[in-house]
Amino acid sequence: MINSFAVITSYAQYLGIFLLLVLLAVILYFEIAMLLDAIKNKNISDSARTYWIIAMFLIHPFVAIYYYFTEYKKNNY
């Protein structure tokens, strides 16, 4: 007889790893989208654009989220 709880717990770790990889992929996609928008955004000055791009490379998702709420939404909505 197969212990169904043991089977479920053995697959649960794979589900957790899969969900973690999906979350990381979404974060990476969002960051790349905000980075490309910062590069193409003509409504901000060249120096501000440079600062945004450098900050996105150094501090990653936190700056991308801040950029989304300060620059991206202001220009697209």
Q: In the prediction, which pLDDT does 6 show?
A: 63
pLDDT bracket for residue 77 (50, 70, 90): low
Sign of the alpha-carbon torsion through 44, 67, 61, 18: negative
Domain limits for position 71 = 4-76
Q: If DSSP codes are grouped into helix, strand and coil, which group holds residue 43?
A: coil
Q: Which residue has the higher pLDDT, 41 or 9?
A: 41
Question: Model-level pTM?
Answer: 0.77
* Per-residue pLDDT reduced to its tens digit, 16-72: 899 999 999 999 999 999 999 999 988 889 999 999 999 998 887 899 999 999 888
State the total domains in the chain: 1
